Structure 1
Amino acid sequence: MTSARGPGRPKLDPTVDNRQRILTTARELFSESGFERTTMRAIGRRAGVDPALIHHYFGTKSDLLVAALRPEVNVAAVFDGIADTDSSVGREFVHRVIDFWERDPQQRARAVALLRVAVTHEQIADRLREFIRGVATAALGEFVATDDSDRRVAMVMSQMLGLILARYVMKVPGIADASATELSRWVGPTIDNYLSGDIGGVSPDR
């Protein structure tokens, strides 16, 4: 016996990945209308799904925004062998981050959109911080001195967020038009110091 659909409820195609369809639609609407004016109902209507299904997959609208716009970064692939180069770890890290954004403008656009919203929405900022900390820890964890390691990772995050905002959001002259090699040469030593240098009153153990 099959159950009847409720009034107005769309019949879903079982061969379609509804989760992916919701994410794709959410990206479109967030881009077109912004976070505040986009509703779960509007996303459901365009995606052809019940809004309850969106809540089932993603929870709140903030959670959906992060899931839709969070860059897809294969940390192992992007940062593999980061210490096996002629550059310092800090310089290589900066170079690879910038190179990743330059080679994938779609991922970069999603990240920039997420950053813009995170500036004014605390819940989204919390989730973005978790994501960035996870990437930084996975990429650099083995190079972080054990003294005050949480602060060291936080300082790396702040440095890279500032660099990305200056280059891709505010488009600061001298930063926006610099090459990945130039930026890595300028910012890399600061990252190295945060990883294992003296960060103020704490003696590095490596």
Structure 2
Amino acid sequence: MNGTGARRRGRPPRTESGDTRDRILTAAREEFSERGFEKTSVRGIAKAAGVDSALVHHYFGTKEQVFAAAIEVAFAPALDAPDALADGPPAEVGERLTRFILGIWENPATRAPVLAIVRSAVTNETAAAVFRRLVASQLLRRVAAQVDLPDAELRAELAAAQLVGMAMLRYVIKVEPLASADVEQIVARVAPVVQGHLTGP
């Protein structure tokens, strides 16, 4: 029987494909956040998204590819960091980058998906490798391109290490008094160090 309300299994109509893809990505981020990379399955993601597992494979492929797509969307705000570096005088680049990264972590809407990425990356080497490729190709190399000095890539990585370490202690491990410190106090302490990594001798 094939009434007007009936729907074939398989690929969704084109008008629904974007919504379905977004729903899968949202479910994937939640599953990776709650269960970690190893305990998350394509079947679990499909169930959380309300779709068939075949659709997850259709849109994204393997679990590693689902993870890569999910973190790329979640990490998208951080990919604007190179633009923040270029928008102002070189002497203030450390402060701009520090404020930019803190802004991502301070905003609950962007913090939650980034936390999911970090938790998966620190507990599973496959997830870490996917995260490394994304960070290296889409963030650190673009930051390095803004730094017109020798060892630009190393400078960018050291600045990132400073900011990631600060974020891990403040937002993930929640070590006091850093976890409760005023943002302006953190900027005042951290920005000069980031500046030194990026533009110092």
Task: Report the TM-score range of the alignment, normalised by the length of the smaller protein.
Answer: 0.7 to 0.9
Question: How far, CA to CA, are the matches of 2:92 and 2:81 in structure 1?
Answer: 18
Taking a change above 3 Å as real, the CA distance of residues 33 and 123 of structure 1, as seen in their structure-2 partners, is closer
Gaps of 5+ in 2: 1-7
**1:163 aligned residue:** 166
Equivalent residues of 1:79, 1:139 under 8 A apart: no
Q: Which amino acid aligns with 2:132?
A: R
1:61 is displaced (CA, Å) by 1.3
Amino acid at match of 1:79: A
1:79 corresponds, among 84, 109, 114, to 84
**Equivalent-residue separation in structure 1 for 2:66 and 2:9 (angstroms):** 21
| Structure 1: gaps of 5 or more residues | 1-8, 199-206
- What TM-score do you get using the length of structure 1 for normalisation? 0.76
What's 1:107 paired with? 110
Say if 1:77 and 1:126 are closer, same or farther in 2 by CA, change over 3 A: closer
C-alpha distance in structure 1 between counterparts of 2:89 and 2:126, whole Å: 38
Q: Contact between 1:90 and 1:190, CA under 8 Å: does it hold in 2?
A: yes
C-alpha displacement of 1:20: 1.2
SS in structure 2 at match of 1:83: coil
- C-alpha distance in 1 between matches for 2:70 and 2:176: 30
What displacement does 1:23 show? 0.9
Instruction: Name 1:54's counterpart in structure 2.
Output: 56
Pick one of 118, 123, 126 that aligns with 1:123: 126
User: SS at the partner of 1:168?
Assistant: helix
TM superposition shift of 1:29 = 2.9
After superposition, residues 126-165 of structure 1 pair within 5 angstroms as 126-133=129-136, 134-139=138-143, 141-142=145-146, 144-165=147-168
| 1:39-89, Cα deviation, whole Å (9 max, x unpaired) | 11232244343423323322321331242243331617972764259x721
Higher mean C-alpha deviation, range 40-49 or range 188-197: 40-49
Q: Percent identity?
A: 36
User: Which residue of 166, 173, 178 maps to 2:176?
Assistant: 173
TM-score normalised by structure 2 residue count? 0.77
C-alpha deviation, 1:25, in angstroms: 2.1
Judged with a 3 Å threshold, the aligned counterparts in structure 2 of structure 1 residues 22 and 38 are, in CA distance, closer, same or farther, namely same
Root-mean-square deviation (CA, aligned residues, Å) is 2.9
Distance 1:148 1:159 in 2: 17
Aligned equivalent of 1:91, options 76, 95, 98 = 95
Output one character per residue of 1:103-160: Cα deviation in whole Å (capped at 9) or x when no partner: x312201111211110122222122223334234445632x24311121111112111
CA contact (8 A) 1:78 1:96 kept: no
Partners of 1:130 and 1:161 lie apart in 2 by 16
Structure-1 residue corresponding to 2:3: none
Q: Does the 8 Å CA contact 1:75/1:138 hold for their aligned counterparts?
A: no
Moved more, 154-163 or 48-57: 48-57
Displacement after TM superposition at 1:13 (Å): 4.2
User: How many residues are paired up?
Assistant: 188
Of Structure 1 and Structure 2, which has the larger fraction of its residues in helix?
A: 2
SS of match in other structure, 1:49: coil
